[in-house]
Structure 1
Amino acid sequence: MPVEFILDDQAARYGRFAADPTPEQLAPYFFLDEADLTLIAERRRNHNKLGFAVQLCTLRYLGTFLPNPIQVPQVAVRHVAGQLGLPADVFMPYALREETRYTHRHSIIRSLEYQEFDGVQAFRLIRRIYAHLAVSAIGPIVLFDFATAHLIAQKVVLPGVSALARLSAEQRQSLERLLVLPEGKWQTPLEVLRTPSSRVGALSLT
């Protein structure tokens, strides 16, 4: 799916570690509290404990999981391993069991009360975008970042970059139509959206 309307660096950093997390970022996102430790303790082997913990922290930080958790920066792995009293190198075997990783992901999503991106979440995102457009005109590049930030704030697991780009592209086309002045009209659809209702009737309260 083409993503030509977003910048290359947007696509490159979407759902990925653009750089090693800083100490200021490690402290809130890669800290394991008592609830986390209780959940992690349910895993039987050390590599599963560390792998589960790293994936949990990754979701908090990125809003999604990496295709392969081995791509998580070592500074983050060491930070998490230190809290578990484990050597960081026990993390490597975790990459060998794809089925285990996906089982852990479902458990983490449920435990952290995240939601998968589906048709309902897409509808809510589109509604949020239109509400934002009613008060502020934004271009497609900013629209993509706005959609990403909104999903993270709502604890929705980010979809693939192509899926969000496709959705944002559709909204870009809708945005462009909002800026076109219809024949015989004196306001564009966007201006109509921004104009408050002159009176409150029964329909506007529904």
Structure 2
Amino acid sequence: MNKAFKVLVLVGVLSTGLMGCVGNTTKVQSQIDYAKFSQQQMPLSNDLSEEDEYQFALDLARFQVKHQKYREAEVLLQKLRKVKPEEIDIYRLLAKSYEGQKQSETALVAWKQVVKLPNASVDDEAELARLAIMLSEYPLAESVYQGWLKSKNISTRVSGLNNLGFSALLQKDVSVARSYFQSALQEDPLNSKAMNNLKLIKGFEEE
């Protein structure tokens, strides 16, 4: 039996440029009930497949995050997560929506979920580590950067070394920070970030 998966979307949101995607069909029952968002709703065309409707809803969540409608995006994404619990884009957008709501610790949990999924990228790891640094979760961030040192990509290795140095510097361990920055320069002698970081350390030591 096919699961009912008919998406009801805000007229107000659609009026900003998505109206062309909507047909003049009657209201339908929905596994994801968008009726709570507004007293006025319009259904997607019955011609769309369930996958099309899912992708439309995910695009709507992206739209909401882009326009800082973080709470609305969170509600929508939590509903979508019940349909596709392994969809990585759901967790990426959830992380952004939580951070947008100043819920950094919850955003960190979402990024942890992202990097567990098979198609997680280095960019996802970078987001996890960035937020971990912000929350002073240094061991978590450093575990990410240590993993980058095993990469075949020199740029990724150098980024790992620079970021490990930055983490050490934030923890006021200047000698460890210097060692990482010097290692970055050994990998890439013209790396401007490592050179600037070493100049920064030298300035600290001269004070």
Question: TM-score scaled to structure 2, two decimals?
Answer: 0.30
Considering only CA atoms, is the larger Rg found in Structure 1 or Structure 2? Answer: 2
* Greater relative CO, 1 or 2 (CA 8 Å, sep 6+): 1
Question: TM-score scaled to structure 1, two decimals?
Answer: 0.30
